[in-house]
A and B are shown apart, each in its own frame.
Chain A
């Protein structure tokens, strides 16, 4: 892996009106890695991507791509970037193929017809590529979006929630393809998602963004190790007695009372023991639930619940 970062985000800040949408974000991305950008809806993923693509101006800081500032040297910086930003919106009244021809014409080096055909094959659109985009499903538009991003063989691929609208088979395909091009062609792939499971399967490193702040950058293997701890919610009667009991039995774990229920972190295999402990002490157990719903909860799960949301 080349150690020169292809993307250097330095203290990137974006304010819209009084609101700080991206807050002092510093991050390097390297060739050959799939970098996951994880955060709940409204965290600032799309905004960060728009900043990287030069669609909006930075309020502060700078973004260098291949050493060129996206603000001061836009054309050089963007030359080796391919991307999808939010939904891949195409010209609906033209065929998928014409859409690709349109984008292919916008690069200084000529993009051959063979290359267009190659990309079409890559995303598996051969059969429908000459039909109007109007008639495409969201999944097909997503594929066409990927095709236009790959046309000029970019060294940085930026994809904003690329599996939106894809079926499970399609998701698996995209995932494998992205891992492949990153590792074999030494491309940096920057993927945003609000789904932890997706990031886990696809990425080498993951940055977590929340309320515009980058709160952690870790390799996925680390995250997965942390996963053996889950946040557990236990509904019992009486709550106070349960709390004291658990505090006593698991002094190294964080136990709290939230909404009249116990919140704690535990290993999955501890759960039967916890249950037994409570029952033998005469506590009525109504529910033991390990949280795996929204990203926020998962996120709490991963980081051991020590960050306020």
Chain B
């Protein structure tokens, strides 16, 4: 165990002694700052004093829409949820969360987890392939440490890098949010729709849940990149392939969604929020099903990486 800790320290040292690592962390904060400034000075205020009237109008529209469209899948459920939450706001005097507030900003900052995913893919792609291209792999592997432990320390360091970045994103979105928009409306809850009823939730809990949901995609893509990096020892291939799949995977799955088998594709399952609001991609998919599929892919990626890394001749 002590051994493992040392290996992780080593991987951290190598990671953070590289300038490019800090560039990524810096970029993340910079992008967030730009989003903050743009939101404060460029975006229009969406809601005004008479938000209740706006919501009422919206509800009227939604009710009409509900009568017009046939009830396929869960389309009516989605409309009902929106109507119920709007009504709850009107009844309990809880205005919607505006973009130009602390909560609004922190909510939209969760979208930047895809940037964290991107950066972590780059790290995952380099952390094994780099040792091969630098030639340092030879000196790394002639120590009384098993190859599987070395690989594990690299995988854990990659995931920790993602965790640090998510933490930085969360904290800086709080700080920038507080600076730009103040604490007005900080008592407002998040409204969830559970079993046909509107319930109030703590906003921080809700934001953390969003991070959790986004991390599913992150972990899967990063593990994929790690596998490619280990199997092919090629950094560019790992980055290219992972980012390509990250951007096209969802669309391809959408295009093919009329086929039943599409539900076995990784990307049909990475978005777990499909079970919380709205309808799943393919009729009959459940949260349990998706988690099982995700686990199968994860185990597949990990097994591939470990088996190949352990057997490989280091001869370059």
Contacts and interface: CB of A to CB of B under 8 A. Distances in A.
Interface in B58-101: none
A78 B143 contact: yes
A91 B141 contact: no
A107 B144 CA distance: 6
Interface in A123-173: 145, 148
With most chain B CB atoms within 10 A of its CB, the pick from A50, A83, A101, A102 is A102
Interface stretch (A24-32, A54-62, A219-227, A287-295): A54-62
Interface size bucket, A side?
Answer: 35 or more
A103 interface: yes
Contact of B13 (A56, A75, A83, A102): A102
B127 to A, nearest CB: 13
Nearest to B11: A102
Contact of A94 (B9, B17, B143): B17
B136 A50 contact: no
Contact of A106 (B134, B138, B144): B144
Nearest to A57: B313
A contacts with B: majority SS: loop
Interface centre among A75, A87, A93, A105 (most CB of B within 10 A): A105
A108 interface: yes
Contact of B10 (A16, A47, A84, A106): A106
A43 to B, nearest CB: 16
Contacts, number: 82
B145 A106 contact: yes
A89 B134 contact: yes
A81 B139 CA distance: 11
Interface in B274-315: 311, 313-315
B18 A85 contact: no
B145 A98 contact: no
B144 A92 contact: no
B135 interface: yes
A79 interface: yes
Contacts of B209: none
B7 A106 contact: yes
A85 B138 contact: yes
B186 interface: no
A74 interface: yes
A79 B18 CA distance: 29
A88 interface: yes
Most chain A beta carbons < 10 A, residue from B18, B136, B142: B142
B314 A55 contact: yes
Contact of B19 (A74, A88, A91, A93): A93
Closest 9 CB pairs of A and B: A89-B135, A106-B143, A56-B313, A105-B6, A55-B314, A79-B144, A75-B144, A85-B138, A53-B142
12 contacts: A53-B138, A57-B311, A86-B135, A89-B135, A91-B134, A91-B136, A93-B17, A98-B13, A102-B10, A103-B143, A108-B3, A148-B139
Interface of A: 16, 47, 50, 53-57, 74-76, 78-79, 81, 83-94, 98, 101-103, 105-108, 145, 148
